[in-house]
Structure 1
Amino acid sequence: METSAIGQARPQINAREKVLGRARYAGDLKLAGMLHARLLRAPHAHARIVSVDTSAARALAGVRAVATGADVPDRRWGVGHKQQHVLARGVVRFVGEEVAAVVAETPEIAEEALDLIRVEYEELAPLLDPALSLDPGVPQVHEGGNLSEEINIDRGDVDAAFAGADLIHEETYTTHSQYPGYMEPMATLAEVDGAGRLNVWTSTQSVFLARQRLAEALDRPISSIRVIQPTVGGGFGGKIIEERSSVIAAFLATLVDRPVRLGLSRLDDILSGCFSVPATIRLKMGMTRDGTIVAKEVDILADCGAYAGLAGEVMTVTAMRSDNMQRIRNIRTRARLVYTHTMPRGAFRGFGGAQMSFALNSHMATMAEMLGLDVIELHRKNAIGPGETSVHDWKIGSCELPACLDQVSEAIGWGEKRSRAKAGGVLRRGVGMAAAMHVSGNRTIGNWDGSTILLKVNEDGRAVVHTGESDMGQGAFTMLAQICAETLGIPVAHVTVAAPDTDNSPYCIGTLASRVTINGGMAMVKAAEEARATILAAAAAKLGCDAEDLALVDGVIRSADGAHTAPLAEICRYHIYRHGGEGIYVKGSHDPQTVRFDGDFRGNIAPAYSFAAQAVEVEVDTETGQVRLVETYLSDDCGVAINPLAVHGQSNGAAVQALGWTLYEELHFEGGRVINGNLADYTMATADAVPMMHSMIVEGYEPNGPLGAKGASETAILPGAAAIANAVYDAIGVRITDLPITPEKILAGLAELEEASLA
């Protein structure tokens, strides 16, 4: 290519249809005869369903069906723990659990019918505090007890390492749930076609995992279900495999034998979850005088809510992922996941990494101060490097964390601002930083983390990419189009990426664990190389020369000496219209050489690992307790940036999400009921709370990634909370260990400092 398709700031290939309002989301789709569904949710955190009277609702004109737990399949579904039915049967375990569903001619009739359903409950004592879950005599969320999962990891000689440490620090940190906050609440359209197959259009991050969930929950063969992905308005982990509304919509379509659309309101979406996993983390670390980390002990209590879902995997990430960021050999970890009678928690952007990042980075800043060291130098001293193997056997192919630290330090003026005299007065400023790592790919869903691309080159020389990987707004389709164009030798504008469809797309896992760029991208490289080889072989036959002498550049095939040339379209037509000819349709598959965890949680689970650092400045109002983010610099080690514009967009979005989690977002409950379940009361960061965002990229070269690339976006959400907490401490001397950082906590901390100074 005269101009490379890689490394150029490029708008997303589907941006035009979005800004023109022509993108079709699941909530926009309509089919002839379509009906509308609405859900009746439980008002109690824990209750036995005594009876459900649906007679009045069924009698309402325009109602076509009313379903309860008595109507759904007996088979239970779930990720690892098979615990849920399509609708609640016998007992409800959280406020908002789906008890009944109405299908009607209009949404208004369906809403009216909900008010006519009479449910008699026998209220039972709820378990709402995870700290009490394992106490004797407390209510049981499920038979067998309230402990969902427990992991224990022991590496090296922790006791001896602590005994030899010059400094030991121990603290407990608490983190809370965060709502994904995507622009598009969950929506699904489902129908049973004339052949009896179930067709489902749903907002999902993985059409194949969605199909698997539907087959299990509805107790029908996988091949009798087709899942198509419309445009998706954000996911952030909440639309992987835990949401229930698509299951209910599909079941209702089989019940009425007409198309059914179920679109959740914002309140419905919040009540149904899935929020991030809250955790209490006790962290103990030992260091030598020079800042070398010699020992680490962690105890985690995480809350999955009423159903486990992916929360066990999330907890595992919280427990051990950050260990791999540093050179440390002595680790003892215990992590327990417990049930409560609250909404289910599970996957969220960063997948458990943010919880431990807050604790670890707060801890390191505290210990750096105790040792009289600069925390940036503390991170640099302990950072793992390329070619090294971590304590859990992770093999680091590329790591630019030191360069990330340099970049944010220089950008914010770290040395100057850290050394300035502390100002008095009402408004006080401070700076803080944090660092983090994340996976690019993850061999956890069976012993496969691969991807397959089917590539079709049409008669006009333009390409169509068929993939089961998902674009939920992050730019995955644009990335695949760029890699295809660069490798094949055609303009990006000549590449179309078809929407995932389980009938027409190759099997792929979908968007999770920052795996699409590195694994889908590698499959794209292989498919494009296969197509190019096929085209050049055909061109050699037609032009009467050797394929090795030919190159495909900007859609034109030329020999090295310029004696032979042909437009790509001419060769593509030639490939078809000859004896034994056919269209150009090739496959590229890639499964990285990674290793699934063994029983001791050892194994190189990802082909690459991404790193990030963030430095922030805050201003704290000592009269009101309000914290304002003044500026932020975030540096992302993503390997070669396929599309820098997309990386910057994702990094900035992640930083804002971290800002919201740290300062603004908090669920409030009364008796297990969410009392701020709308965007007026559940406060996310708005434009006036966000300063100018500075996103920076450190480009290394990832040897296991496509054209040197690895994952971006998720790593960028991880450092924010600790960076802000550290900056607050720098400003006013108050260390907040319990998120979110609210004005009340700031004022209480200042009062404690004043009281201590007078003692």
Structure 2
Amino acid sequence: MSQSIVGASTPQVTAREKVMGRAQYAGDIKLAGMLHAKVLRSPHPHARIVGIDTSAAKALAGVRLVVTGCDTPTRLWGPHRKEQRILAAGVVRHVGEEVAAVVAVSEEIARDALDLIRVEYEQLPALLSPEAALADGAPEIHAGTRNIGHEMHIERGDVDAGFAAAAAVYEATYDMHSQYPGYLEPMASVATQDGNGRLTVYASTQSVFLARSRMAEALDRPASTIRVVQATTGGGFGAKIVEENNSLICAFLATKLDRPVRLVNNRLEDFQGARASVPAKVWLRMGLSADGMIVAKDVRITAECGAFSGLAGDVMHVSAMRSDNMHRVTNVRSHAVLAYTNNPPRGAFRGFGGQQMQFPLNCHLTVLAGMIGMDPIEVHKRNAIGRGETSVHGWQIGSTGMQECLEMTRQAIGWDAKRNAPRGTGTRRRGVGIAAAMHVSGNRTLGNWDGSTILLKLNEDGRVMLQTSECDMGQGANTMLSQICAQEMGIPLSHVTVMVPDTDTSPFCLGSLASRVTIISGNAVLRAAREAKQKVLALAAEKFGVEMASLSFADGRISVPGQPDKSAMLAEIARLHIFRHGGEGIHVRATYDAPTVMHDASYYGNIAPAYSFAAQAVEVEVDTCTGRVTVIDSFVADDCGKAINPLAVHGQTHGATVQAIGWTLYEHLRYEDGRLQNGNFADYTMATADALPMLRTDLVESNDPNGPFGAKGASETAILPGAAAIANAVHHAIGVRIHSLPITPEKVLAALRERHETEKETAHA
């Protein structure tokens, strides 16, 4: 290309149809004869279903179907543990669990019919905290589990010897709450079964093939009888991977009728049905040497999965070990327990367990740095793992920009001057804090394959169609794939179309999770484009009677430099490839499977082809009269390898930063006796524009050897350091440390009062 496409800030290829209102989300799909479904949910956290009377609902004019758990297949489903039915049968285990479903000619009639269903419950004891669930003699939520959904033990090196040699040791317990995914589009599905019994489901999903597998399991039917098509997806943040029930219920209802069925959650239903992030309590003990090296780390985690385990065990796995790999640490010990409770199920969320450990870790490192009289940035830099090194858990670091991220952040926030400035005595005090983090780009843990297959078709007009089942959920995957293809094939970006993920026509892929799409599917596209280009050049060389090496390919034209008569547009060669003896269209299939290994029984192994890093510094203002914390300035440096599309990377970093600020200061799912009290955007306070500073970000391009053009993931890492950076800044401003999230005005004022009382007692002693 005469102008580089990779590395250029590019608007998303899907932007036009979205801003014009032409993008078709699942809730927009209309099929002939379509009916509408609504779901009745449990009002109790734990109860036995004594009986359900659906007769009045069935008699309502316009109602076409009413089903309960007794009508659904008995086969249990779940990502790991098989413990869920499509609708609850016999027992409900959390408020909001789906008990019955109605299908009617309109959504309004279906909603009215729900009010006519009479369910008799016998309430059972509810376990609403991990402490209650794990107590001796607690009733089991799932028989034979002791209310433990997953448990891990990891130990490397000699932790006790490390602590014995430490110059400074600090221990504390941190509490982290659950965060609703907060996507703009609630879960929505449309399902229809044809005359041959094949089921088609249009869904808002991050993985069409994982969705199909889950439906096949829950519906107890062959996967090939199910087709899943991804509709335009309005955000996912992990919650639309494999755990939502909306598409399962919709699919089941469509199998019971000869009509298409539409099921769209309203916002309260989505709050009740979505998998929010995994809450966790973390006890952490760490030791530093006098020169700032981490010599020992001991962590105990109690995480909560709610009523069903889902992916929460995988999330806790990340909390228990991922952060160990960002530093040169040799003595680590982790014990993590996942508890079942009668709270709503928890699961995947952006950052996937990283937040739950990066908050304690980065708070700890700032405290320990103070104990030995060292700048926390210096502690991070001294311990930062380097390129070419292997971590304590066997992760091979092909690239890292962590040191550069820390330095960039230091300069951008004015760290040295602000950190050393007098604190002042006014009611509003400012402070600065910093934190760093790492994340994976790809992850060989769901199975022994972390690959992607791309089908590339070169049309006779010289334009390219890419078939993939990797999902664009708004993060810009289709734009990135188009850029890589256009760059490699020397064609305009507009000449590449990424087709809709469809299990009937797309090759198998895992989908958008673990920040894998750029490095995994990007490499597959790069391979496919190179192979297609070679086919084109080979035919052009034959046509012109020259060697392939002498050809130039740029801006959609193939030519022999200095010989203007030997020149042809790509479209001409593409047509020639078909219209000749033995001709055919150019169809290329390319697969990239990451050069990684699954971890062994002790969780040792290089599970990702690349690792991303980030650092964030914030300046906060704390009002000591009201306790309010305001983020005045924020800067995030993000190591994404090579930025295929800098505009998209900045956008992802901004979004991740806002979610971190929301989790730290504002968002809080409030429950009373297991019942959600704030299941709407009026009462669930997410960070809005007036609560945010001007977000500042920059990129560090460490150019990973495994990434396409050096790229690696850039969607999740930036969410990880925010909470600790803010907590560290609050401590710097007013001298109190908050160990539980969110950092509310009430907690700030309570901590200030406690410190004041302690100072008074010390003065009088």
Q: For this structure pair, what is the TM-score category when the shorter chain's length is used for normalisation? A: over 0.9
Does 1:410 find its partner at 2:411? Answer: yes
Letter in 1 for 2:627: G
Who is 1:96 aligned against?
A: 96
Who is 1:183 aligned against?
A: 184
Letter in 1 for 2:519: I
* Separation in 2, partners of 1:149, 1:615: 35
Does 1:40 find its partner at 2:75? Answer: no
* Separation in 1, partners of 2:76, 2:563: 66
When normalised by structure 1's length, the TM-score is: 0.99
What whole-Å deviation, never above 9, does each CA across 1:590-620 have from its counterpart, x for those lacking one? 0011010100000000000000000000001
Who is 2:499 aligned against?
A: 498
* Separation in 1, partners of 2:333, 2:475: 37
How many Å apart are 1:137 and its aligned residue?
2.2
What whole-Å deviation, never above 9, does each CA across 1:665-721 have from its counterpart, x for those lacking one? 001111100011111111100110011000110112100000110001200000000
**Counterparts of residues 642-653 of structure 1 (less than 5 Å):** 642-653=644-655
Letter in 1 for 2:683: D
Who is 1:489 aligned against?
A: 490
* Separation in 2, partners of 1:39, 1:622: 47
* Separation in 2, partners of 1:594, 1:606: 6
* Separation in 1, partners of 2:540, 2:534: 10
What whole-Å deviation, never above 9, does each CA across 1:443-492 have from its counterpart, x for those lacking one? 01210000011001111101111111000000000000000001111111
* Separation in 2, partners of 1:586, 1:560: 28
How many Å apart are 1:167 and its aligned residue?
1.1
Letter in 2 for 1:721: A
What whole-Å deviation, never above 9, does each CA across 1:318-353 have from its counterpart, x for those lacking one? 000000000000111100001000100010000000
**Counterparts of residues 528-607 of structure 1 (less than 5 Å):** 528-563=529-564, 564-607=566-609
Does 1:511 find its partner at 2:512? Answer: yes
User: How many residue pairs are counted as aligned between the two chains?
Assistant: 759
* Separation in 1, partners of 2:504, 2:368: 55
Q: Structure 2 stretches of 5 or more lacking a match?
A: none
* Separation in 2, partners of 1:363, 1:258: 58
Who is 2:749 aligned against?
A: 747
How many Å apart are 1:551 and its aligned residue?
2.6
* Separation in 2, partners of 1:495, 1:551: 20
Between the aligned residues of both structures, percent identity stands at 63
* Separation in 1, partners of 2:4, 2:635: 28
* Displaced runs of 4 or more, over 3 A: 560-563
How many Å apart are 1:82 and its aligned residue?
0.2
**Counterparts of residues 275-294 of structure 1 (less than 5 Å):** 275-294=276-295
Letter in 2 for 1:15: A
How many Å apart are 1:561 and its aligned residue?
3.7
* Separation in 1, partners of 2:137, 2:395: 42
* Separation in 1, partners of 2:680, 2:174: 27
* Separation in 2, partners of 1:503, 1:484: 23
**Counterparts of residues 660-699 of structure 1 (less than 5 Å):** 660-699=662-701
Who is 1:121 aligned against?
A: 121
Three-state SS of the structure 2 residue aligned to 1:133 is helix
Aligned partners of 1:398 and 1:608 also within 8 Å: yes
How many Å apart are 1:165 and its aligned residue?
1.1
* Separation in 2, partners of 1:607, 1:551: 33
When normalised by structure 2's length, the TM-score is: 0.99
* Separation in 1, partners of 2:692, 2:650: 15
Decide which moves more: 559-568 or 384-393. Answer: 559-568
* Separation in 2, partners of 1:700, 1:391: 22
* Separation in 2, partners of 1:551, 1:640: 26
Does 1:78 find its partner at 2:78? Answer: yes
**Counterparts of residues 184-333 of structure 1 (less than 5 Å):** 184-333=185-334
Who is 2:623 aligned against?
A: 621
Who is 1:22 aligned against?
A: 22
Who is 1:4 aligned against?
A: 4
Three-state SS of the structure 2 residue aligned to 1:558 is strand
* Separation in 2, partners of 1:719, 1:287: 21
How many Å apart are 1:194 and its aligned residue?
2.2
Letter in 1 for 2:112: E
* Separation in 1, partners of 2:111, 2:185: 21
Who is 2:68 aligned against?
A: 68
Who is 1:524 aligned against?
A: 525
Letter in 2 for 1:527: A
Letter in 1 for 2:123: E
How many Å apart are 1:273 and its aligned residue?
2.3
What whole-Å deviation, never above 9, does each CA across 1:412-448 have from its counterpart, x for those lacking one? 1000000111111111100000000000000012100
Does 1:136 find its partner at 2:152? Answer: no
* Separation in 2, partners of 1:658, 1:159: 34
Aligned partners of 1:354 and 1:717 also within 8 Å: yes
* Separation in 2, partners of 1:717, 1:559: 50
Letter in 2 for 1:601: Y
Letter in 2 for 1:362: C
What whole-Å deviation, never above 9, does each CA across 1:619-653 have from its counterpart, x for those lacking one? 01111111101010000000110000000000000
* Separation in 1, partners of 2:237, 2:34: 29
* Separation in 1, partners of 2:125, 2:505: 49
Aligned partners of 1:607 and 1:704 also within 8 Å: yes
Three-state SS of the structure 2 residue aligned to 1:280 is strand
* Separation in 2, partners of 1:236, 1:16: 23
**Counterparts of residues 461-500 of structure 1 (less than 5 Å):** 461-500=462-501
Who is 2:341 aligned against?
A: 340
Aligned partners of 1:126 and 1:139 also within 8 Å: no
* Separation in 2, partners of 1:382, 1:131: 35
How many Å apart are 1:545 and its aligned residue?
1.6
Letter in 2 for 1:75: R
How many Å apart are 1:73 and its aligned residue?
0.3
* Separation in 2, partners of 1:214, 1:162: 50
For the aligned residue pairs, the C-alpha RMSD in angstroms reads: 0.7
Aligned partners of 1:127 and 1:140 also within 8 Å: no
* Separation in 2, partners of 1:301, 1:87: 29
Letter in 2 for 1:616: V
How many Å apart are 1:257 and its aligned residue?
2.0
What whole-Å deviation, never above 9, does each CA across 1:174-197 have from its counterpart, x for those lacking one? 100000000000000000012210
Who is 1:658 aligned against?
A: 660
* Separation in 1, partners of 2:653, 2:584: 44
